[in-house]
Amino acid sequence: MNDSNHNHDELHKGTPQTGNRLLADVSLPAAVIHEPALAHNLAWMQRFCDAHGARLAPHGKTTMCPELFQRQLAAGAWGITLATAVQCRAAFRHGVNRLLMANQLVGEANMAIVAGLLEAGADFYCVVDSIANVEQLARYFTARGLRLKVLIELGVPGGRCGCRDTDEVMALAERIDSEQSLVLSGLEGYEGVVHGSDPERAVRAYAWQLVEAAQGLVRDALFETSQPLITASGSAWYDMIAGVFHEAHLGKQFVPVLRPGCYVVHDHGIYRQAQREVLARRPELERGLKPALEVYAQVVSLPEPGLAVIGMGKRDIGHDQLPEPLRRYREGDERQRPLPVEGWQLTKLMDQHAFITLPPDEGEAGAANGRTRVGDIVAFGVSHPCLTFDKWRRICRVDERLEVIEVMQTCF
């Protein structure tokens, strides 16, 4: 299902339709999203943002899935965040009108894409962090007769992009103010590159630095809009950013915007741990996010005692951390009763194979019912969902009975 080399018609041959059985009718491996967990996560994060007086612009690069963009917008999202001009164009073509590109817009080919979006009616924002980029943008968009909304990015020393201190922010704002084709519309940051011996304290200090810089821009009348944006937050520290923005009562002068992306399907790895830390900091939050994304694959070989080889590899699933075996099923078993995977350990991933070390009594030829067989289907949990989504062009959304209720497309 993740073969991107076939033409459009071939891609849809054999695509499961509503009502098909995941364990019997779908070619595996397959990426799968569980609807109950997905619905929970969509509502949970929207409630969180609403409770903190913030807007939600989830980062669409996580999924690049238009069906999920529409679900997020329907749940109350203010817009969708993207990483590149090409991603913004794809989202706009699928009905997303408000686009926040949380990156610098560099290169005339990319500027041409954005100019086309503006001419088509998109509400578009990008970030800037240098006079050189401001001059490039001003020259291009002046020639096109367009006005571009920009946010200044405040970074941190040793981090990624962004002005390194508030003085740089103020100087850049004054330069933007002199360009008729650019509209300074807010301040942007990303706390995921903040490090230190006490990261919680460092993230909180960075959030307050964002607040103070934004207030300085208001004080000097450098924003050209009456309600500028102030935006930050990835999927690990969103509670800290939201808390500081709420403490600062920013809703009176700004539109606070949070940008987590991975929450929509969560994971069984780095964001599961990050969520545990969120709930430890904020025990009053009701429950937490639920992992919704899994990859289903089959045992293709039991070549020696204690070893199962799975038909799934680096081309099918992210591997920032090794995937986690969660459940096992018999192919076509109408009972859909999970079989145990206790003692299973995924030890190695190749391009399209995974190596599982089995307990001593597993995987024997002619083993009794319940022991591992060739053809058994295994559900794997992923870590960092961004790096699993980008391996698939079609993803099965399933209900509690593992019935496929939708095949969602991605547009990477």
pLDDT by residue, tens only, the chain of 412 residues: 554 443 444 444 445 555 589 999 999 999 999 999 999 999 999 999 999 999 999 999 999 999 999 999 999 999 999 999 999 999 999 999 999 999 999 999 999 999 999 999 999 999 999 999 999 999 999 999 999 999 999 999 999 999 999 999 999 999 999 999 999 999 999 999 998 899 999 999 999 999 999 999 999 999 999 999 999 999 999 999 999 999 999 988 999 999 999 999 999 999 999 999 999 999 999 789 999 999 999 999 999 999 999 999 999 999 999 999 999 999 988 778 899 899 999 999 999 999 999 998 775 544 445 789 999 999 999 999 999 999 999 999 999 999 999 999 999 9
- Does the reported pTM lie above 0.85? yes
Q: Are 273 and 321 in contact (CB under 8 A)?
A: no
CA–CA separation, 137 and 148 (whole Å): 8
Predicted pLDDT of residue 22: 94
Say if residues 77 and 46 touch (Cβ distance below 8 Å). yes
Q: What span, in angstroms and rounded, lies between the C-alpha atoms of 173 and 129?
A: 10
The residues, any chain, with a CB within 8 Å of residue 379's CB and separated by 6 or more, are 32, 294, 295, 296, 325, 326, 327, 328, 329
* Closest C-alpha among 176, 179, 175, 178 to residue 143: 179
Dig out the tokens for 410 from the structure: 């991605």
The span from the CA of 215 to the CA of 213, in Å, is 5
Token pair of 103 as six digits? 């990156």
Q: For the chain, which domains are there?
A: 8-33+289-409 (2.40.37.20), 97-260 (3.20.20.10)
Q: Is the separation of the CB atoms in 388 and 322 below 8 Å?
A: no
